[in-house]
Amino acid sequence: MPDVYFYEAFEEEAEELRRLLPASISAGYTDQTIQEAAHAAPPARLISIRTQSLIPFAWAPVIDAILSRSTGYDHLLAYAAATGAAGKRIALANLPLYCHRAVAEQAMLLWMALLRRLPRQIRQFHDFHRDGLTGAECQGRTLAVVGVGYIGHEVCRIGHALGMRVLGVDLDPHHADVEYVPIDLALAQADVIVCAMDLNEANRGYFDTTKWRQTKSGVIFINISRGELSPSTALLEALNTGLLSGVGLDVFDHEAALAVSLRGKTTPTDAEALAALELATRDDCICTPHNAFNTLEAVERKSDHSVQQIVAYLETGQFLWPVT
């Protein structure tokens, strides 16, 4: 049995992990999720996942530790809560610091592409006409960032640099360079809304139809945080009714089901996954495959931080950045 087993490790990441991991530590790798790999038992007592793997409850008495190679950790807390009856403490950890710039830049990429109607521009190249392509500039527009943590604050910095008025919404308003406002004021004033919130049971489904009815007409919405915060069915309705003029998504409600069906070339039965597929066909929506973190720089940091976490745990029984 290896010391650690990595799930959801795509080619470049696995290569970097192999390069950095000490020779004294044995490891296994797959680019599949746990459910796709269909392992009957955990292949190591320390497993590392991203956000799409569903860890079997039956594994709880066997595994000692779980490292999620992600900024978010709601899935770890949910697993710990669901398996608490097993009476076994499992060490949990994430990677809180590796990708805030990469993800913030992806948010900017999405809102700028939607402001300039880029999907339609690309499609109309083949006709070479400009009807319906007039877009908008960032400067002077209002950007609302909901959730001002590491990633959200970086989004705020980018917005300021683009000449936008930036509003922040957060339960802990501790950044001096951010103008914090209540959510209702942010929704009413924003031209662009970026969701950078952590997910918990209290805010699941946060951006619903009720929220979209509080915005001014034609706002653009970007989610680079967790798909469960913005149900795809509600986004589709908001686009169809004109409450939203554009949607950019790197994360999706019921993402695990969506990802497995897309990779397996099957049609999902889940309503949220089906709505996401419909969104992806539209000129006013840009969908990317949970890839905002994926830059050369962030992959290097991610692999380095993963190895630091694993070495610390195997040597001391504790992670450097634990989830508690």
pLDDT at 324: 85
pLDDT at 103: 98
pLDDT in tens, 189-211: 999 999 999 999 899 999 999 99
DSSP SS3 for 98: coil
Q: Is the pLDDT of residue 85 over 70?
A: no
Mean pLDDT over 52-70 rounds to 95
pLDDT at 83: 86
Which tokens in the block code for residue 216? 């001014």
pLDDT at 87: 53
Residue 87 region, left (φ>0) first, then alpha (ψ -120 to 50), else beta?
left
pLDDT at 190: 99
Contact indicator for 40, 58 with CB cutoff of 8 Å: no
| CATH 3.40.50.720 correct for 100-287 | yes
Q: Is the pLDDT of residue 237 over 90?
A: yes
Q: Is the pLDDT of residue 119 over 80?
A: yes
Helices marked H in 125-231: 150-161, 183-189, 209-212
pLDDT in tens, 107-118: 999 999 999 999
CA atoms 147, 150, 153, 157: torsion sign: negative
Looking at domain 4-98+296-316, its CATH superfamily turns out to be NAD(P)-binding Rossmann-like Domain (3.40.50.720)
Q: Residue 200 gets which letter from DSSP? A: -
Q: Is the pLDDT of residue 89 over 90?
A: no
Q: Is the pLDDT of residue 93 over 70?
A: yes
Domain ranges (residues) in the chain: 4-98+296-316, 100-287
Q: Is the pLDDT of residue 17 over 70?
A: yes
How far is residue 287's CA from residue 276's CA, in Å, rounded to a whole number?
Answer: 8
In this chain, the answer to whether the domains covering 4-98+296-316 and 100-287 adopt an identical fold is yes
pLDDT in tens, 297-311: 999 999 999 999 999
CA nearest 133: which of 117, 113, 152? Answer: 117
Q: Is the pLDDT of residue 86 over 50?
A: no
Over the chain, what is the mean pLDDT? 96
How far is residue 215's CA from residue 61's CA, in Å, rounded to a whole number?
Answer: 47
